[in-house]
């Protein structure tokens, strides 16, 4: 069994999920693929299985946060050392998984590496709409101020964590729109993260989890969560022990 | 206690009806005692305030409300806010527990399917697993049985 897991959250992505799984198999040999079917009403789970992925089927739609947490729970149970989130809609290019892994391995102190669309000034690739970028810039400012390090793309879900990150996220992961809060959660637990530049593509299928009408709720909810989080002195859960890696070696 | 106005009679009747209604719901086990207590407390408070006229008058006088019935409204609203807040807490906890249950169900189901693939290969040839075309189908998917993974590997 491989030690690395690619977690693909998918909701009604029957058309794209097989392609995503195949691309991960092609470009990231050292990764097992887990598709978390978040209560899809189409053939997402079947397509993912046909493509050779393990499938976690949620009995109903939990939202991206709950689905991803289930993925991290799976990674924890099966003793994976590294987990990377790759969206099932084709936005995240599996060719970058190797870059993320390299960055994560380069620094043993590092617990999480995020693929950022905005780190390089070259600006090619898919960068989403102007309004969305404005919202991202607000989050970027807030998150950078809180963590004391530059975070250019806090809403990117294309991120890789090591075992400490898996343990943390399996225990505690934000409900909906988890990306921004996840960075702060890492920070609150004194786990270190960084960004590398990636190029993202426009999604193949499905709508963004954030429609324009929901974007206001998105902003308010995340900012509220961030604000309240500032007053949470000690982390809600404790995960300090980085040496608890080989717990499930028998799996 | 002075004269019974129509207004007061109405409030007394409504709070009594509420008390009885809650009691009946508990008796039929439609409402658990745990959540009935708040409602009973609210209804009882309103009933006492409506029935005992001097209490409401002196209470509202003490806090500077010139029209006693509005003090009754204020208390009623405060009680409702407390109940709603409590229910929001309950709903938050329930949805959290619900999420955890769903996650564990998914993990267990995956584990069962995996062990089934490892031992007995289930009978294939299910008509519903044949789904050749790739059209996005908005219709409800069939409830997927755990045995239905013949196509894996």
Q: Give the nearest chain B residue to A63 (CA atoms).
A: B99
Residue B26 included in any domain: yes
B128 touches chain A (CB under 8 A): no
Two structure tokens written together for A138 = 């607000």
Chain A positions with Cβ closer than 8 Å to B = 12, 14-15, 36, 40-43, 45-46, 49-50, 52, 54-60, 62, 66, 69-70, 73-74, 77, 175, 205
Strand A82-85 and strand A159-161: the pairing is antiparallel
B134 touches chain A (CB under 8 A): yes
Task: Tell whether the torsion through CA atoms of B125, B129, B135 and B138 is positive or negative.
Answer: positive
Percentage of chain A beyond pLDDT 70 is 85
Residue A248 included in any domain: no
Q: Is-contact A83 A160, C-beta < 8 A?
A: yes
pLDDT of residue B72: 84
A137 has pLDDT over 60: yes
Residues A13 and A20: their CA atoms lie apart, in Å, by 10
Q: Which residues of chain A have a CB within 8 Å of the CB of B136? A: 12, 14-15, 42, 205
Q: Is-contact A203 A122, C-beta < 8 A?
A: no
Strand A31-37 and strand A192-197: the pairing is unpaired
B86 has pLDDT over 90: yes
Residue A168 included in any domain: yes
Residue B76 included in any domain: yes
pLDDT of residue A243: 38
For residue range B121-141, what is the model confidence (pLDDT) as tens digits? 444 444 444 444 444 444 444
For residue range A88-132, what is the model confidence (pLDDT) as tens digits? 888 899 999 999 999 999 998 999 999 998 887 555 556 667 778
Q: Please write down the HEC assignment for all residues of A47-83.
A: HHHHCCCEEEECCCCCCHHHHHHHHHHHHHHCCCCEE
Domains: count for chain B: 1
Helix (H, G, I), strand (E, B) or coil at B41: helix
Q: Which of the two residues, B28 and A176, has the higher pLDDT score?
A: B28
Nearest CA of chain B to the CA of A149: how many Å?
32
Cβ contact B106–A66 (<8 Å): no
- The helix (H) or strand (E) run that includes residue A112 is strand A110-116
A69 has pLDDT over 70: yes
- Identify the CA nearest to B130 among candidates A38, A47, A16, A60: A47
ipTM for the complex shown: 0.79
B153 has pLDDT over 50: no
Average pLDDT, chain A: 85
Cβ contact B149–A36 (<8 Å): no
Average pLDDT, chain B: 78
Domains: count for chain A: 1
Q: Is-contact A180 A139, C-beta < 8 A?
A: yes
CATH of the domain at A32: 3.90.550.10
The CB density around residue A228, as the number of other CB atoms within 10 Å, is 9
Q: Which residues of chain A have a CB within 8 Å of the CB of B112? A: none
Residue A200 belongs to domain spanning: 4-240
Segment among A22-36, A167-181, B17-31, B128-142 with least mean pLDDT: B128-142
The CB density around residue A132, as the number of other CB atoms within 10 Å, is 16
Nearest CA of chain B to the CA of A122: how many Å?
36
pLDDT of residue A170: 95
For residue range A176-198, what is the model confidence (pLDDT) as tens digits? 789 999 999 999 999 999 999 98
Residues A6 and A74: their CA atoms lie apart, in Å, by 11
Which phi and psi angles does B140 have, rounded to 5°?
Answer: -60, 130
Beta bridge mates, A84: A6, A160
Two structure tokens written together for A191 = 């786990």
What is the signed CA dihedral for A190, A192, A198, A200, rounded to 10 degrees? -20
Place of tokens 């053939």: A43
Two structure tokens written together for A23 = 């691309």
pLDDT of residue A209: 57
**What are the DSSP calls for B71-112, one per residue?**
HHHHHHHHHHHHHHHHHHHHHHHHHHHHHHHHHHHHHHHHHH
Percentage of chain B beyond pLDDT 70 is 74
Strand A54-57 and strand A4-10: the pairing is unpaired
pLDDT of residue B119: 65
Residues B52 and A52: their CA atoms lie apart, in Å, by 74
Cβ contact B114–A54 (<8 Å): yes
Cβ contact B110–A58 (<8 Å): no
Task: Tell whether the torsion through CA atoms of B54, B59, B65 and B71 is positive or negative.
Answer: negative
Residue B61 belongs to domain spanning: 7-118
Tell the burial category of B153 from Cβ atoms under 10 Å away from its Cβ (0-12, 13-18, 19+).
exposed
Residue B38 included in any domain: yes
Sheet holding A110-116, edge to edge: A54-57, A31-37, A4-10, A82-85, A159-161, A110-116, A192-197
Looking at the partner chain, which of B105, B110, B141 has a beta carbon nearest the beta carbon of A59? B105
């Amino acid at each position: 069994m491989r030690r690395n897991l690619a977690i693909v959250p998918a909701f009604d992505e029957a058309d794209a999920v097989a392609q995503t799984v195949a691309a991960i198999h092609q470009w990231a040999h050292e990764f097992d693929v887990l598709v978390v079917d978040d209560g899809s009403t189409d053939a997402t789970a079947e397509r993912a299985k046909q493509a050779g992925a393990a499938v976690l089927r949620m009995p109903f739609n939990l939202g991206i946060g709950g689905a991803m947490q289930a993925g991290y729970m799976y990674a924890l149970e099966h003793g994976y050392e590294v987990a990377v989130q790759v969206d099932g809609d084709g936005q995240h290019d599996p060719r970058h998984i190797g870059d993320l892994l390299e960055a994560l391995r380069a620094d043993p102190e590092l617990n999480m590496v995020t693929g950022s669309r905005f780190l390089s000034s070259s600006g090619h690739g898919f960068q989403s709409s102007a309004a969305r970028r404005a919202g991202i810039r607000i989050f970027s400012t807030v998150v950078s101020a809180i963590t004391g390090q530059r975070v250019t793309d806090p809403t990117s879900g294309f991120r890789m964590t090591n075992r400490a990150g898996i343990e943390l996220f399996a225990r505690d992961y934000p409900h909906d729109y988890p990306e921004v809060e996840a960075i702060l959660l890492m920070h609150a637990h004194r786990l270190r993260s960084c960004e590398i530049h990636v190029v993202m593509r426009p999604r193949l299928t499905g709508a963004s989890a954030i429609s324009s009408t929901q974007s206001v709720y998105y902003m308010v909810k995340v900012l509220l969560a961030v604000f309240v989080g500032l007053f949470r002195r000690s982390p809600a859960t404790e995960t300090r022990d980085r040496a608890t890696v080989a717990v499930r070696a028998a799996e | 206690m002075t004269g019974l106005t129509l207004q007061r009679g109405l409030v007394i009747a409504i709070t009594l009806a509420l008390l009885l209604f809650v009691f009946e719901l508990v008796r039929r086990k439609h409402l658990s005692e745990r959540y009935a207590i708040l409602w009973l407390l609210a209804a009882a408070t309103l009933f006492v305030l409506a029935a005992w006229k001097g209490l409401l008058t002196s209470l509202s006088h003490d806090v500077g409300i010139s029209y006693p019935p509005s003090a009754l409204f204020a208390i009623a609203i405060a009680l409702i806010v407390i109940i709603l807040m409590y229910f929001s807490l309950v709903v938050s906890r329930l949805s959290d527990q619900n999420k955890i249950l769903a996650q564990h169900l998914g993990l267990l189901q995956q584990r069962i399917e995996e062990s089934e693939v490892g031992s007995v290969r289930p009978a294939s040839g299910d008509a519903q697993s044949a789904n050749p075309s790739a059209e996005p189908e908005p219709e409800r998917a069939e409830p997927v049985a755990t045995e239905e993974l013949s196509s894996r590997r």
